[in-house]
A and B are shown apart, each in its own frame.
Chain A
Amino acid sequence: MHIDMPIRRRRPLSLTSLIDVIFLLLLFFMLSSTFVRFAEVEIAGGVASRTAGSQTPDVLIRLDDDGWQVNGLSLDADMAVTELKRLEEQDASSAVLLVRGEVSSQELVSAVERIRRETSLSLSVAR
């Protein structure tokens, strides 16, 4: 005798486990990702007494609490960059940035970035 098996109806797939996994992934990516865009500024040089002696720099820039000094001239930031461009046209190729006083790292890096951007002097920093 031939007996028909009853047709089993498929139950819809449970979504709970799917949501669990997706929630986990979401949490992971929310907590571990960052939206900060990073950048790098290279710093050449170091403590003055140890790096000097290889060659004398063409331009000496001093950065202190009162502002910039380029080869002894006290200037504000814009004037200093103009002066650096002028010196560069007169075949200056290397510059040393000296830091004095209470200058913060932010100011130092901003200055280095600006000089790199607007001139092509090879720049090193010293204390």
Chain B
Amino acid sequence: MLRLSRPLPPRQRESTIALINIVFLMLIFFLIAGTLSPPLDRDIRLISTTTAEGAAPPDALFVTSEGLLRTQGELIDPAAYVENLKADADQEQPQIKLAADRDLPATRLIEIVGTLREVGAGRISIVTERIAR
């Protein structure tokens, strides 16, 4: 006797509703938990602190561990950076945020702070990342 296989039942299509649910959840999570920030320099490991005051994500002047100044991935000298800030913010003494690598020698850091002051910077602060204790 010839055996005939029964025709397979037509496959049901996978419901997309479940997929959308998960993607929606992830979207909401990233919307609420994350903070948008200007891109940080990848080579720099920020100094960590525990109790310093919180701050908004910075648009900072980055200092690599060799003491090179960079902003938006390009080398810049302090005078030009301060000039740019003055032109953008229209202030006499622009506020400067320095994001220094944690291995940068402190003497070099102070030298950079001194140079920035000399070319007309106002308040200078160091950007750090806050770690939970």
Q: Which residues of A contact B (CB under 8 A)?
A: 15-16, 18-19, 22-23, 25-26, 29-30, 32-47, 50-51, 63, 99-100, 102-110, 113, 117, 125-127
Contacts and interface: CB of A to CB of B under 8 A. Distances in A.
B85 to A, nearest CB: 16
B47 interface: yes
Contacts of B31: 29
A41 B110 contact: no
Contacts, number: 154
Interface size class of B (residues with CB under 8 A): 35 or more
B34 A39 contact: no
Contacts of B124: 42-44
Smallest CB-CB A-B distances: 6 pairs: A33-B34, A46-B114, A47-B114, A108-B106, A39-B52, A106-B102
A113 B20 CA distance: 47
A41 B14 CA distance: 54
A41 B126 contact: yes
B30 A39 contact: no
A18 B126 contact: no
Interface in B13-59: 16-17, 19-20, 23-24, 26-27, 30-31, 33-37, 40, 46-58
Given A15-B20, A19-B23, A39-B52, A99 B126 contact: no
Interface string B104-131: 1111011101100110000111111110
Given A19-B16, A29-B30, A105-B102, A39 B53 contact: yes
B100 A39 contact: no
Nearest to B52: A39
A26 B23 contact: yes
Given A22-B20, A40-B125, A104-B103, A109 B47 contact: yes
A106 B47 CA distance: 5
A47 B104 contact: no
